[in-house]
Amino acid sequence: MGLGKACMLGEYLHAYTTILHRQASLRYVYVDAFSGPGAHRVRHPESKWSSLLDVALYPLEDREHAEYIRGSPRIALELQFPFTQYVFVETNAARALALEKLTTQYPDLKIAIRKRDCNEYLRDTLVPRSWKQWRGLVFLDPFGMQVPWTTIELLAKTKAIEVFINFPVGMAIQRLLRRDARFSNEQRARIDLYLGSPNWFDVVYQKGTGLFGETVDKAADSNIALTRWYRKRLKGLFGFASSARLVRSSSNHPLYYLIHAGPNATGAKIAEHILRQGEVV
């Protein structure tokens, strides 16, 4: 299965900051647009403990199989060469409160917690800053289609920001792509907004001729075709876009593709090396 998402991100952040810390005139910011609590509890495969509700049902020794894994915020904070500034964006109050603890756990780092919609923060606060002496890396890891193409365009226009994007083609997107290709105007508008173009329809669906005239069928490889199309559009915006790395669930179901895009050839080469250590398109 290769490297996990957190490990891939960590490898790239290490390389990114190792290069930039040598350039004394530059400052650099890391933005985690969907931060979560900073750490996640996972269950040991042999344990029956799976939620807080199970605390009363199973003995302590079973619950002690649970372990904490570092979320993307902690991975970014524990780099050998830290970023000049960290911004963690999280709308959930409980998760934001957990993130606040990071400011005391890492007192030597400049950390800001922003309890607001990530698109508003990126559009109104991050992008308008002067980028002459700054560089940035934005991690976009939503659960669904919360980041429209207009936000991606704004980040690319800075010519100083790189992105790691979770493209949820196996989760949120496929749930909307009906086999019969019948969409309401509202449904099509939602997909258009996320992908930034109505041309996705011709990528996903194939026209043919049947007994009753013209037919429209969903392509068997629609996931791959749509991901390649999206990646090509990212390359057009940023200048460089990596191969798309497939991330699967524990049951081997395709979830999403992780893609790096940016304006820098060196960063693109490093990201490509990291992401190609698994299934790519």
Report pLDDT for 209: 66
In a domain, 257, yes or no: yes
Residue 90 pLDDT = 92
209 is a domain residue: no
Q: Which residues pair with 162 in a beta bridge?
A: 137
Any domain includes 91:
yes
203 in Cβ contact with 225 (< 8 Å): yes
pTM to 2 decimal places: 0.86
pLDDT at 174: 86
Residue 49 lies inside a defined structural domain of this protein? no
Q: Is residue 191 part of a domain?
A: no
- Which structural domain range is residue 84 located in? 5-36+71-166+238-275
pLDDT band at 57 (very low <50, low <70, confident <90, very high): very low
Q: Which residues of 157-177 are buried (b: 16+ CB within 10 A; e: fewer)?
A: ebebbbbbbbbbbbbbbbeeb
The string of pLDDT tens digits covering residues 238-263 is: 999 999 999 988 888 888 999 999 99
- Work out how many domains the chain is built from and give that number: 1
Instruction: Tell me how far the alpha carbon of residue 37 is from its chain's centroid.
Output: 16
So what's the pLDDT on residue 62? 33
In a domain, 54, yes or no: no
Report pLDDT for 45.
40
pLDDT of 170-194, one tens digit each?
878 988 999 889 999 999 999 999 9
Most confident of 65-74, 95-104, 209-218: 95-104
The pLDDT assigned to 85 comes to 98
- CATH code of residue 16: 3.40.50.150
The answer to whether residue 60 sits within a structural domain is no
Which class for 234: exposed (0-12), middle (13-18), buried (19 or more C-beta within 10 A)? buried
Model pLDDT, residue 253: 85
Residue 226 identity (one-letter amino acid): L
Q: What is the pLDDT of residues 76-133, one digit of tens each?
A: 999 999 999 999 999 989 889 989 999 999 999 999 999 999 999 999 999 999 999 9
Domain for residue 216, yes or no? no
